[in-house]
Amino acid sequence: MSLFLKLPEEIFHSALSFVDIPSVCRLYVALAPRHGQMVADYLANKTICVSPNALVTGDPDYIGFALLEQLPPCHVKVVLPVFSHQLVPEWFKRRRFTSVHVVLEGNPPSMPFDLNSWQMHIDTLEVVGFGKEFEYHCGDDETRVILKECDKFSITGGSITSFEVFNDEVDPEEIGLVPLSTQKLILPIGTAYNATELSNLKHVDGGSIYNVPWSQLQVYSGTSAPQVSHLPELREFNSVINDDSFTFKSKNCPKLEKVALRQAMHIHASTSNISELFTESQMAQLVSLKVPTYSVLDTTPLINLQELRMRTDAVITERLPLPPSVTTLQVYSQWSVEGIPAQLKTFLFFGDGDECHVSVNSANLQYFDACFAGDVSLDCPRLTRLSMSSIISILRLNTPNLVSLTFNSATTFPFDKNHFPMLAHLSLGDSRTELHLKQHLKTADLSFMRLQSLSIIADEVTLLGCRVVEEPKISARNITLKSCLFPNTHQFNCRQLQYFFDGSIPSMLQNVTIWWHPYDSEGKPSKSVPPDVFVGCKHLQSVTIHLAIVDWSENNRLKIPASVKQLSLVHVQSKEVWLEFENETTLDHFELVASDDDLPKWSMSSLGLTIKPPSFIKPSFLYSHGHITFQLNRGDDLHNP
Taking the chain (641 residues) in runs of 10, the rounded mean pLDDT of each run is 69 86 93 86 94 86 94 92 79 88 73 62 82 65 78 70 76 63 86 86 86 93 86 93 78 95 58 82 96 88 96 94 96 95 97 92 97 96 97 94 96 90 96 94 96 95 93 92 78 85 76 75 67 89 84 90 92 85 93 73 90 78 37 33 33
What are the CA-CA distances from residue 262 to residues 211, 278, 363, 601 (Å)? 22, 15, 32, 57
| Dihedral sign from CA coordinates of 256, 257, 262, 268 | positive
Q: What residues have CB less than 8 Å from 1, skipping those under 6 apart?
A: none
- Amino acid of residue 487: P
How far apart, in whole angstroms, are the C-alpha atoms of residue 42 and residue 162?
28
- Long-range pairs of 293-296 with CB within 8 A, sequence gap ≥ 24: 293/261, 293/262, 293/263, 293/267, 293/269, 293/332, 294/261, 294/263, 294/269
How far apart, in whole angstroms, are the C-alpha atoms of residue 594 and residue 596?
7
525 in any annotated domain: yes
pLDDT score of 127: 84
Asked whether 235 and 258 are in contact (CB, 8 A), the reply is yes
How far apart, in whole angstroms, are the C-alpha atoms of residue 503 and residue 119?
47
What are residue 221's DSSP bridge partners? 205, 238
Helix or strand or coil: residue 526? coil
The boundaries of the domain holding residue 505 are 501-623
pLDDT score of 633: 33
How far apart, in whole angstroms, are the C-alpha atoms of residue 308 and residue 292?
9
Q: Which of 84, 56, 82 is closest to 512 using CA atoms?
A: 56
- The strand pair at 184-186 and 203-205 is best described as parallel
How far apart, in whole angstroms, are the C-alpha atoms of residue 104 and residue 81?
6
Q: Does residue 33 have a cis bond before it (omega within 30 degrees)?
A: yes
Q: DSSP letter string over 366-385?
A: -EEEEEEEEEEEEE-TT--E
The predicted model scores a pTM of: 0.83
The number of beta carbons lying within 10 Å of the beta carbon of residue 220 is 23
The number of beta carbons lying within 10 Å of the beta carbon of residue 515 is 17
Asked whether 441 and 421 are in contact (CB, 8 A), the reply is no
How far apart, in whole angstroms, are the C-alpha atoms of residue 322 and residue 311?
14
pLDDT score of 108: 58
| Dihedral sign from CA coordinates of 548, 551, 554, 557 | negative
Q: DSSP letter string over 244-267?
A: TT--STT-B-TT--EEEEEE-TTS
556 in any annotated domain: yes
Buried b / exposed e over 247-284, threshold 16 CB at 10 Å, is ebeebebeebbbbbbbbeeebeeeebebbebbeeebbe
Look at the chain and report how many structural domains it folds into: 1
**Counting Cβ atoms within 10 Å, is residue 449 exposed (0-12), middle (13-18) or buried (19+)?**
buried
How far apart, in whole angstroms, are the C-alpha atoms of residue 174 and residue 172?
5
How far apart, in whole angstroms, are the C-alpha atoms of residue 589 and residue 5?
41
How far apart, in whole angstroms, are the C-alpha atoms of residue 251 and residue 278?
9
How far apart, in whole angstroms, are the C-alpha atoms of residue 51 and residue 67?
11
The number of beta carbons lying within 10 Å of the beta carbon of residue 597 is 6
How far apart, in whole angstroms, are the C-alpha atoms of residue 418 and residue 586?
50
CA dihedral angle for residue 347, residue 351, residue 355, residue 361, rounded to 10 degrees: 0
How far apart, in whole angstroms, are the C-alpha atoms of residue 166 and residue 451?
37
224 in any annotated domain: no
| Dihedral sign from CA coordinates of 439, 445, 449, 451 | positive
Asked whether 427 and 447 are in contact (CB, 8 A), the reply is yes
What are residue 230's DSSP bridge partners? 252
How far apart, in whole angstroms, are the C-alpha atoms of residue 611 and residue 345?
62
- Sheet harboring 134-137: ordered strands across? 153-156, 134-137, 628-630
Asked whether 144 and 162 are in contact (CB, 8 A), the reply is yes
Q: What residues have CB less than 8 Å from 392, skipping those under 6 apart?
A: 354, 373, 374, 375, 409, 411
544 in any annotated domain: yes
Q: DSSP letter string over 267-303?
A: S-GGG-BGGGT--HHHHHH-SEEEEEEEE-S--TT-T
CA dihedral angle for residue 430, residue 435, residue 440, residue 441, rounded to 10 degrees: 20
What are residue 207's DSSP bridge partners? none
